[in-house]
Structure 1
């Protein structure tokens, strides 16, 4: 469980540190947009009080507490799942997912919404959506858990 805890802590710290640096120190919450390496990387301030892509937005109070409860429930289940599996790569993936989820839960508790600021576009496609480091952890951890969930076992021929 040490690898799990370390991965969760690092992901949470990266997420919250990036938000402090970009949203507060660089003043993105007031400037609303900073072009870093256009169009590949831009900072665009967004406060998401819903789920991904603004789903459930418009009901901030109900969505806030519902999403906090769901995220914490998922964190408990993922922790249990990784502990039951026990493999280091599962602990790492689960820790990254949980750290990202807790980063977004922290935002909802402190700000009432999740601070999104990363915007990436490429190849003539203009992406209107913003995300954050926690989202990268949640999606990356979830994908890794799915890929690694069922280890390959030697096939046994039965006759």
Structure 2
């Protein structure tokens, strides 16, 4: 039986996903256990940037709040399914922008999945609400958001040979 082929850009996507997970979880560990943000609530950092502890039971940026345990596990299962689907797609990718996008989304989905399994909610703490950005978010959310933007950019501009 032939071994499944993973492209060079597929490996890049996986490396980016691992980096996002490691950075996300390391920062969350520091926020929760070293800096002890849950006891502090909200701390000004610089200008409009604050660290504010929010436990998010919904999806990214607090959308679709899921206070019931069944919803928690449904969201966890959905995150895992998305990550597996995108990992399969990444395995075959031949474009650097697409690999970067997929790696960011996979890493973000798995980073938040880890929180959902460990804490029954996602730890959010990056607060720019003083800039009229109403959501408190985390590194994984940022990875998902930037990854989706890059996916859109890749779909519009990624393969100039199609045009």
Give your verdict on TM over 0.5.
yes
Once residues 62 and 161 of structure 2 are traced to their aligned partners in structure 1, the CA distance between those partners, rounded to angstroms, is 41
Residues 4-15 of structure 1: pairs in structure 2 closer than 5 A: 4-15=13-24
Once the two structures are superposed, residues 96-129 of structure 1 have per-residue CA deviations (whole angstroms, 9 ceiling, x without a partner) of: 111111000000000000000000145xx44442
State the aligned residue count.
152
Give, in whole Å, the separation in 2 of the partners of 1:154 and 1:98. 26
Q: Which residue of 1 aligns with 2:26?
A: 17
Cα deviation 1:72-105 (Å, max 9, x = unaligned)? 1111121222233322332222111111110000
Give the aligned partner of residue 44 of structure 1. Answer: 52
The aligned residue for residue 147 of structure 1 is 153
1:59 counterpart = 2:70: no
Q: Which has the larger radius of gyration?
A: 1
TM-score with structure 1 length normalisation? 0.86
- Asked if 2 retains the 8 angstrom alpha-carbon contact of 1:56 and 1:63, the reply is no
Measure, in 2, the Cα distance between the counterparts of 1:82 and 1:145: 12
100-109 vs 142-151, which moves further: 142-151
The aligned counterpart of 2:143 is 137
In structure 1, stretches of 5+ residues that fail to align are: none
Give the SS at the match of 2:124: strand
Q: CA offset at residue 154 of structure 1?
A: 6.0
Q: 2-side partners of 1:13 and 1:32: how far apart?
A: 24
Q: Calculate the TM-score normalised by the size of structure 2.
A: 0.84
Corresponding position of 2:83 = 75
